């Protein structure tokens, strides 16, 4: 069981260390970055299911549950996309403080924004997972039909088509979602986590 | 144990109902409203401690952990105060979805904003707790020294001095923090919760 290295930052009598001792593992954020269609949310939800079955407190954040609520006032301009990510980062820091493992699935195309996220966190709290997949494969899947619209010029600033994606130079974990099965990817994420957070029975 | 009345809103394979069944109680938000110095955060943290000892997932939100992060870009203007509360409400809805009991301690002076919060939630998810205390008592405590500064005109828009507080007409629970001991108040909140969420062993 991890030592309580966290002091109560606020005046609460229950702090992160208490929660982590009770849980038996550390809370961390895995931030899944990659192109639309690369399989970030699919992987995050599959990891969530496995962790939940192990008894962990875990939650997935993606566009589906954040964009309409907390960030419903934001557009897809570069500035608003950065603010979107900032708010999510600040929110998930409170989830970490509450002892919850955070699985965040967002394109997060710019390396500067990813660095900003990393700098917002303590070093052992944040890990970047690159869900890597060739844009041609993502485009051929085109689950939401957005790649087609972007090619036709009907969507502007679409990452990989008419907006840049900076491939991470040194992600903490790299998943090749085109070559690996989902099960293989989940197993690799779980092995990574087990090493980092003393996961129970993983 | 409560029935799972929640369908998965998103494509996650683990939904709120799964979490609540595992927890053995429902997640709800208790929103503590009242003047600065009325004892909202003190009560919320004491309730958190009791719930944590009962094994529950619970977390306190107040100015100390929200204002510098998620809402660090907002001022204390009426418009920004409303946006502050909106974001907190949206964030805590995700905590509810994650199965966490949310204890929110914010002045929330305007009845319209409190109604907006209530309308953002399902009827059984949100309960308003009025931590009631005469302004003279709050001012005499003046823990942060802000009442004095407000009286001197050095802080503008200070609730109770030069900005309005609308007393809730029908809070779900009313705590008379001037007349009750903290222990009495905690017991009353726990009794209220036990009735609403099937709290374990409370």
Site from B61, B98, B99, B104 to mutate, A interface, most A CB atoms within 10 angstroms: B98
Compare CB distances from A65 to B46, B69, B94 and report the shortest one's residue.
B94
Residue A10 has pLDDT above 80, yes or no: no
What ipTM was predicted for this assembly?
Answer: 0.91
Condensed to tens digits (0 to 9), the pLDDT of residues B115-171 reads 999 999 999 999 999 999 999 999 999 988 999 999 999 998 899 998 999 999 999
pLDDT at B3: 38
**Cβ contact, residue pair B100, A100, below 8 Å:** yes
**Cβ contact, residue pair B59, A93, below 8 Å:** no
Chain B contact set for A91 (CB, 8 A): 70, 91, 94
Q: Which of B76, B75, B49, B43 is nearest to B62 (CA)?
A: B43
pTM given for the model: 0.91
Taking the CA of residue B20 and the nearest CA in chain A, the distance in Å comes to 12
Contacts made by residues B49-55, CB under 8 angstroms, sequence distance 24+: B49/A13, B49/A14, B50/B186, B50/B190, B51/B101, B51/B190, B51/B193, B51/B199, B52/A14, B52/A18, B52/A19, B52/A22, B54/B199, B54/B200, B54/B201, B54/B202, B55/B200
pLDDT band for position A159 (50/70/90)?
A: very high
User: Mean pLDDT throughout B187-198?
Assistant: 93
Q: What percent of chain A has pLDDT over 90?
A: 76
Compare CB distances from A94 to B18, B58, B65 and report the shortest one's residue.
B65
Angle at Cα A140 formed by Cα A138 and Cα A143, nearest 5°? 70
Longest Cα separation, chain A: 56
**Cβ contact, residue pair A64, B13, below 8 Å:** no
Q: What percent of chain A has pLDDT over 70?
A: 93
Taking the CA of residue A181 and the nearest CA in chain B, the distance in Å comes to 18
Chain B contact set for A65 (CB, 8 A): 9-10, 94, 97
Chain A contact set for B93 (CB, 8 A): 69
Condensed to tens digits (0 to 9), the pLDDT of residues A59-115 reads 999 988 888 889 988 988 888 888 999 999 999 999 999 999 999 999 999 999 999
Q: Which of A186, A135, A183 is nearest to A158 (CA)?
A: A135
Q: CA neighbours within 13 Å on the CB side: how many for B93?
A: 20
Residue B6 has pLDDT above 50, yes or no: no
**Cβ contact, residue pair A95, B95, below 8 Å:** yes
Q: What integer best gives the mean pLDDT of chain B?
A: 90
Measured CB to CB, residues of chain B less than 8 Å from chain A are 9-14, 18-19, 22, 41, 45-46, 48-49, 52, 57-62, 64-66, 69-70, 72-73, 83, 87, 90-91, 93-95, 97-100
Q: Which residue of B has its CA nearest to A63?
A: B10
Condensed to tens digits (0 to 9), the pLDDT of residues B38-78 reads 999 999 999 999 999 999 999 999 988 888 889 988 988 88
Fold of the CATH domain A24-132+166-197: Rossmann fold (3.40.50)
pLDDT at B12: 52
Condensed to tens digits (0 to 9), the pLDDT of residues B97-110 reads 999 999 999 999 99
Domain ranges of chain A: 24-132+166-197
pLDDT at A61: 96
Condensed to tens digits (0 to 9), the pLDDT of residues B16-29 reads 999 999 999 999 99
CATH class of B16-134+167-197: alpha beta
Chain A contact set for B64 (CB, 8 A): 10-11
């Amino acid at each position: 069981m991890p030592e309580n290295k966290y002091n109560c930052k606020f005046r609460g009598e229950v702090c992160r260390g208490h929660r982590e001792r009770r849980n038996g593992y550390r809370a961390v954020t895995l931030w899944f970055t990659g192109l639309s269609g690369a399989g970030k949310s699919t992987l995050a939800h599959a990891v969530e299911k496995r962790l939940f079955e192990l008894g962990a407190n875990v939650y997935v954040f993606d566009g589906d549950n954040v964009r309409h609520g907390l960030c419903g006032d934001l557009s897809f301009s570069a500035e608003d996309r950065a603010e979107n990510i900032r708010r999510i980062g600040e929110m998930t820091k409170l989830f970490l403080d509450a002892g919850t493992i955070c699985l965040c699935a967002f394109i997060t195309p710019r390396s500067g924004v990813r660095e900003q996220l990393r700098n917002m966190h303590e070093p052992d709290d944040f890990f970047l997972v690159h869900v890597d997949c060739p844009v041609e494969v993502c485009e051929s899947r085109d689950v939401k039909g957005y790649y087609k619209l972007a090619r036709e010029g009907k969507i502007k600033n679409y990452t990989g088509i008419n907006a840049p994606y900076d491939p991470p130079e040194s992600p903490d974990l790299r998943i090749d979602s085109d070559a690996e099965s989902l099960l293989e990817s989940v197993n690799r994420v779980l092995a990574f986590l087990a090493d980092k957070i003393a996961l129970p029975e993983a």
